[in-house]
Copies of this chain bind each other. A is one copy, B any other.
Amino acid sequence: MPIGVCYFPEHWPDEDWERDVVAMADAGLDYVRMAEFSWGVLEPERGSFEFEWLDRALDLIDDRGMQAVLCTPTAAPPRWLVDERPEILQQERDGTVREAGSRRHYCFSSPAYREETERVVRKLAERYADDSRVAGWQTDNEYGCHGTAYCYCDDCADAFGEWVSDRFEDAADLNEAWGTTFWSQQYDSLSDVDVPRPTPAQDHPALTLAFARFTSDAILDYNRLQTEILREHGAPFVTHNFMHLYPAIDLHEASADLDFLSWDSYPTGHVQEGEGEASADELRAGDPDLLSLNHDLYRSVGGAPFWVMEQQPGDVNWPPHSPQPGEGAMRLWAHQAVAHGADSVVYFRWRRCLEGQEQYHAGLRKADGSPDRGYDDATEAAEEFETLPDLDLPEAPVAIVHDYETLWALDGREHAPDFDYWTLLGAFYDALRARGVAVDVVSPEDDLAYDAVIAPALYTASEETADRLEEFVREGGQLLLGPRSGVADEYNKLRSAQPGPLADLVGATVEGFETVPPELPRSVESEDGDRYPIRIWAEWLARDEAAAEYIYTGEDVTGGRPAVVSNPVGDGQATYAGLWPEPDLADELVGSMLERAGIDHTERFPDGVRVSVRDGHVWLCNFTSEPVDVVLDDGEWVLGEPRVEPFDVAVAETNRLSGLSLD
């Protein structure tokens, strides 16, 4: 489980390089990521490639027993290219052109940019793809960063028109499928289908979903252009560094083109991106569940150990606030990543940069080259990983179903200001993690070789998905379905009753629904009379075969009506929760599911204290500023000790989660 770092030798005088590389090796680093954004240096003018600097850097790295991860430089086309071929630039929905002067200003669908990409990637691949100094490759950088997934230029309009034409026989076919009779939105020919433009009212939901699919496809096509060239020239591996719960790219499809998936982890930044306010502890170390949800996603979707390709090294420049991570947090993050199946953790960046837009982004080393806070953490983590045996990937007894179609189809149909797909998914995921259970994040199309499965929302669930889930339950699986499932068909047209094809499995239908404004608080009650508040979304159900597990309280519209029902099918059980649970109810729903499925788990751990299990090893990660005392009934500590200090970690060998508890 090696540690690496991102390095930009081109930002520093030649005489610094050797000192820098020696310090990397001293820290026990294995990988050095390079050449990202370096097009301007690699090809200062058209056709004149300069590789000498890169060769020299690769030699230095190689000499010290490390290997490079090379990046294609396409995330930052140089000015001469933009000047020559301005048609490569992106356009915003209102027509504003995104000009040169930062990065990611190119359009994924631009034929001109694809041509240029092919040219530069081929040149690099020819020279370095199978170079022994190179461990493998990263394509481009953070597709879609700065809101650049969606483009509305003429090339996109053409490409979207073609994309649509490939999927329908003619305009009548599309009009029927999309339902364009509404507001006289009929298309007269398939090639008339345009990207969304500024309109007085909302977009048609079928267009929203189709344009999201097209955009994901366009990015993946663009990426495939690069991976094919790299592979053709013998690249040992090809990956891409995706972002925190990034919504616009279907990772299930992306993984087919990559050897494994990577992501860029900025814990104290991510907690400042949501709607709510981050807590003091989160500002120091992030939210462990937000991080591990990404880890689990990139691992299980990739079907392989993932990499953290950029790991926050200290303060970062882009969130509203830039507090320092807590003492040891940079080491804690590396441990948590490894506990969830990371093969490598690469810190971004080596050295705080003197120039450009990221001056206020820390590195492992300060701007003057001396060690910064992250360097010691990284060194310590590297040493500790040496002491651990090689571990197999975590084996998850539970899967959570994550569905891009749902995410995209809901866009504009959330009908509640706080409705956020990832937050709904997180409500169930966090409850699993509070009990230490390993989780796979799977697609609705995946095989379900699990004891229990949670599908927080399957908005556009197909008949096939319903069949697969029913088979899973019939054969003994425990299934927990969340609200807003089976709502629409594949073109985002509503089904005539919810949950559509899932109704039989659930043994109930949705009789009605409403949003839950804070001014109209709502709760449900269990058979035992325990009450639990809910929020954001409430469905009430008409039971067919199902039994009521929770009913709405009060005498209001929903009062007395079933909110959660369960339906035994074959050897298993399907539970449908037509609501958005607050944490206590989520714990009840998830906890009772774990019990029914006989899945080993801990007691409910408090926020910020998390257990992660991998191949007979258990990590206790403390993301809080208070120490925690852990009791281990069965096993032994191999790193750290039962008192886990703030932002510290301990690792035990054990095969029993239920033997772990807090003192």
Residues of A in contact with B (beta carbons under 8 Å apart): 10-11, 37-41, 44-45, 73, 76-80, 83, 90, 92, 94-105, 145-148, 178-188, 192, 194, 196-207, 277-280, 283-284, 315, 317, 320-327, 352-360, 366-369, 372-373, 413, 415-417, 488, 493-497, 512-517, 519-520, 556-558, 625
| Copies of the protein in its oligomer | 3
A516: B residues at CB distance < 8 A:
323
A356 B204 Cβ-Cβ under 8 A: yes
Additional pairs, 7, CB under 8 Å, beyond known A183-B356, A326-B557: A76-B184, A79-B188, A102-B201, A205-B356, A360-B415, A367-B495, A556-B625
> Given known contacts A11-B181, A366-B497, A493-B355, is B203 in contact with A322 (CB within 8 Å)?
no
Nearest CB in chain B: distance from A110 CB, A: 15
> Given known contacts A181-B11, A182-B356, A324-B512, is B198 in contact with A96 (CB within 8 Å)?
yes
For A369, the closest partner residue in chain B by CB is B496
Q: Which of B366, B367, B514 contacts A315 (CB 8 A)?
A: B514
A101 B204 Cβ-Cβ under 8 A: yes
Nearest CB in chain B: distance from A560 CB, A: 12
Q: Which of B179, B197, B496 contacts A99 (CB 8 A)?
A: B197
Q: Which 9 A-B pairs have the closest CB atoms?
A: A179-B355, A182-B356, A40-B184, A102-B201, A99-B197, A368-B496, A146-B200, A102-B199, A76-B184
A517: B residues at CB distance < 8 A:
278, 283, 320-321, 323
Question: How far, in angstroms, from A512 to B363 measured CA to CA in the complex?
Answer: 12
Nearest CB in chain B: distance from A201 CB, A: 4
A372: B residues at CB distance < 8 A:
512
For A559, the closest partner residue in chain B by CB is B327
* Complex A-B: 6 CB contacts under 8 Å: A11-B182, A76-B185, A79-B188, A146-B201, A147-B200, A320-B517
Nearest CB in chain B: distance from A361 CB, A: 10
B103 A38 Cβ-Cβ under 8 A: no
For A278, the closest partner residue in chain B by CB is B519
B357 A198 Cβ-Cβ under 8 A: no
> Given known contacts A322-B515, A517-B283, is B497 in contact with A182 (CB within 8 Å)?
no
For A277, the closest partner residue in chain B by CB is B519
B41 A184 Cβ-Cβ under 8 A: yes
For A105, the closest partner residue in chain B by CB is B200
A184: B residues at CB distance < 8 A:
37-41, 73, 76-79, 103
A199 B105 Cβ-Cβ under 8 A: yes
For A200, the closest partner residue in chain B by CB is B146
Interface of A is mostly: loop
B203 A283 Cβ-Cβ under 8 A: no
A317: B residues at CB distance < 8 A:
415
Nearest CB in chain B: distance from A648 CB, A: 14
Question: How far, in angstroms, from A90 to B201 measured CA to CA in the complex?
Answer: 13
A354: B residues at CB distance < 8 A:
179, 493-496
B417 A494 Cβ-Cβ under 8 A: no
Question: How far, in angstroms, from A104 to B201 measured CA to CA in the complex?
Answer: 8
Question: How far, in angstroms, from A198 to B79 measured CA to CA in the complex?
Answer: 15
Q: Which of B79, B356, B373, B514 contacts A324 (CB 8 A)?
A: B514
A322: B residues at CB distance < 8 A:
415-416, 514-515
Nearest CB in chain B: distance from A49 CB, A: 14
Q: Which of B39, B185, B206, B358 contacts A79 (CB 8 A)?
A: B185
B41 A367 Cβ-Cβ under 8 A: no
A95: B residues at CB distance < 8 A:
96
B104 A496 Cβ-Cβ under 8 A: no
Nearest CB in chain B: distance from A11 CB, A: 6
B103 A192 Cβ-Cβ under 8 A: no
Question: How far, in angstroms, from A481 to B372 measured CA to CA in the complex?
Answer: 25
A196: B residues at CB distance < 8 A:
101
B204 A323 Cβ-Cβ under 8 A: no
Q: Which of B45, B192, B356, B515 contacts A323 (CB 8 A)?
A: B515
Question: How far, in angstroms, from A416 to B495 measured CA to CA in the complex?
Answer: 47
**Which residue, A181, A207, A320, A326, has most C-beta atoms of chain B within 10 A?**
A181
Question: How far, in angstroms, from A322 to B366 measured CA to CA in the complex?
Answer: 50
Question: How far, in angstroms, from A278 to B515 measured CA to CA in the complex?
Answer: 14
B37 A356 Cβ-Cβ under 8 A: no
A94: B residues at CB distance < 8 A:
96
Nearest CB in chain B: distance from A406 CB, A: 15
Q: Which of B40, B145, B206 contacts A185 (CB 8 A)?
A: B40
B101 A197 Cβ-Cβ under 8 A: yes
